[in-house]
């Protein structure tokens, strides 16, 4: 089993719990021919402020791991703590609360609500989380401005470019100020200009302190991260960190 620790965050006081702690996580999917062991023992600690890119061949378990961290699926074994709160204990309601408070997720194909305006798409998660409409919309406008699409607030998502659509999806994921921003191949459906927009945006968010875990096949995207880890066959591979013992340098960069 591989144990990986990243520690690039500026940490202070109560904020010092890691953004994410994954221990001994296993997940098997039942399939017609034979069960698929998608995760075979994953250990991962991600400090706040880290921008982590997960890479690896198709089918190695990247999306499964992200979905478990997002609480979209349950692990068979192991524990997942987000900001010190357990996603693998307690009731479904407890998990939903942790998700709402700590997780924002962005997918390859945006998953926008096409019948709502750009502003409504961003405001909705905050309203669902209990914020009143006015304050949700005020924060949403600020987010859209920050992400460079403030002038699109009242249009429908259908008129946006791919890069703008993904920026909108990122704004929506940030609506509840999540501890963790998760992104599964966020540039996978974009042309190179759209992809570049998204990379630059993620870099800016990281510079502002946002913790990000991103899955990508694209080395250009991974290059924006401060930590790159490789997965294979349901495990995170050992990374090369020359000269570092278990108390070695705080930041560990995987080899590509
Ligand atoms: N709901 C499911 N039911 C059955 N098998 C599944 C399910 N979800 C994933 N799998 C299998 O689990 C393995 C890991 O899938 P996963 O989607 O995590 O891979 P991935 O690394 O994200 O691949 P890609 O780079 O192609 O997106 C694959 O063999 C996949 O077929
Ligand atoms: Mg995937």
Q: What is the pLDDT of residues 168-182, one digit of tens each?
A: 999 999 998 999 999
Q: Which of 96-100, 142-146, 242-246 has the lowest mean pLDDT?
A: 242-246
Distance of alpha carbon 83 from the chain centroid: 14
88 falls in which pLDDT band (50, 70, 90)? confident
- Mean pLDDT confidence for 47-67: 96
Q: How confident is the model at residue 238 (pLDDT cuts 50, 70, 90)?
A: low
Radius of gyration of the chain (CA): 18
Mean pLDDT confidence for 244-252: 36
Confidence of residue 97 (pLDDT cuts 50, 70, 90): confident
Check residue 1 and give its pLDDT.
Answer: 44
Residue 157's pLDDT is 96
Dihedral, 148, 110, 180, 37 alpha carbons, nearest 10:
-160
Please indicate, yes or no, if residue 243 is contained in any of the structural domains.
no
14 within a domain of the structure (yes/no)? yes
Residue 124 pLDDT: 93
Mean pLDDT to the nearest integer, 62-80: 95
At residue 245, does pLDDT exceed 60?
no
Entry field: residues in the chain: 256
Residue 241 inside a domain? The answer is no
Q: Using 50, 70 and 90 to split pLDDT, how confident is the model at 137?
A: very high
pLDDT at 112 over 50: yes
- Per-residue pLDDT band at 68 (split at 50, 70, 90): very high
Residue 250 pLDDT: 34
- In the chain, the number of structural domains is 1
Is 250 a domain residue? no
Ligand 1 contact, 172 CB (< 6 A): no
Ligand 1 pocket residue status of 216, Cβ below 6 Å: no
Would 246 be classed as within a structural domain? no
Q: Phi then psi for 40, rounded to 5 degrees?
A: -120, 35
CA of 91 from ligand 2 middle (Å) equals 27
Residue 66 alpha carbon, nearest atom of ligand 1:
18
Residue 69 is predicted with a pLDDT of: 96
CA of 235 relative to ligand 2 center, distance in Å? 14
Q: What is the percent of the chain where pLDDT is above 70?
A: 87
Tell the burial category of 154 from Cβ atoms under 10 Å away from its Cβ (0-12, 13-18, 19+).
Answer: exposed
Q: Which CATH number covers residue 109?
A: 3.40.50.300
Is residue 204 one of the residues assigned to a domain? yes
CA-CA distances (angstroms) from residue 68 to 20, 28, 122, 125, 221?
12, 12, 23, 20, 22
- Tell me what pLDDT residue 253 has: 34
Give the residue, out of 30, 37, 61, 183, with the most ligand 1 atoms within 8 A of its beta carbon, to mutate for a pocket test: 61
Best mutation site among 28, 32, 62, 73 for ligand 1, i.e. most ligand atoms within 8 A of its Cβ? Answer: 62
Q: Is residue 256 part of a domain?
A: no
pTM of the model: 0.86
Q: Dig out the tokens for 142 from the structure.
A: 């600020």
Res 243 pLDDT > 80: no
Strands 103-106 and 77-82: unpaired
Domain region containing 33: 5-236
Q: Residue 100 — pLDDT band, cuts 50, 70, 90?
A: confident
Mutate to test the pocket of ligand 1, among 25, 29, 185, 217 (most ligand atoms within 8 A of CB): 29
The overall average pLDDT reported for the chain is 87
Contact, 175 vs 122, CB < 8 A?
yes
Ligand nearest to the CA of 40: 1
Region 121-142: mean pLDDT is 92
Say what the pLDDT of residue 78 is: 97
Kindly compute the dihedral angle of the four CA atoms of residues 211, 61, 201, 209, in this order, to the nearest 10 degrees.
10
Examine residue 186 and state whether it is found in any structural domain, yes or no: yes
60 lines ligand 1 (CB under 6 A): yes
């Amino acid at each position: 089993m591989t144990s990986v620790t990243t520690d690039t965050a500026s940490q202070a006081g109560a904020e010092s719990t890691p953004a994410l702690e994954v221990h001994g996580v296993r997940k098997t999917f039942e399939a017609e021919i034979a069960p698929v062991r998608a995760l075979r023992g994953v250990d991962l600690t991600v400090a706040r402020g880290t921008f982590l890119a997960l890479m690896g061949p198709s089918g190695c378990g990247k999306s499964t791991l992200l979905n478990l961290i997002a609480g979209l699926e349950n692990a068979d074994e192991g524990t997942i703590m987000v900001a010190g709160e357990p996603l693998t204990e307690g009731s479904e309601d407890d998990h939903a609360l942790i998700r709402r408070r700590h997780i924002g997720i962005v997918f390859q194909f945006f998953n926008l609500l096409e019948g709502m305006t750009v502003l409504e798409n961003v405001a909705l998660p905050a309203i669902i989380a209990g914020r009143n409409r006015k304050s949700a919309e005020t924060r949403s406008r600020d987010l859209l401005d920050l992400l460079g699409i403030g002038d699109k607030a009242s249009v429908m998502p259908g008129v946006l470019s791919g890069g703008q659509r993904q920026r909108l999806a990122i704004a929506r994921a940030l609506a509840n100020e999540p501890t963790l921003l998760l992104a599964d191949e966020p540039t996978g459906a974009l042309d190179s200009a759209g992809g570049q927009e998204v990379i630059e945006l993620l870099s800016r968010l990281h510079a502002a302190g946002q913790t990000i875990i991103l899955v990508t096949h694209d080395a250009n995207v991974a290059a924006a991260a401060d930590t790159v880890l490789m997965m294979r066959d349901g495990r995170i591979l050992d990374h090369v960190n020359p000269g570092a013992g278990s108390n070695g340098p705080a930041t560990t960069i995987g080899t590509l």
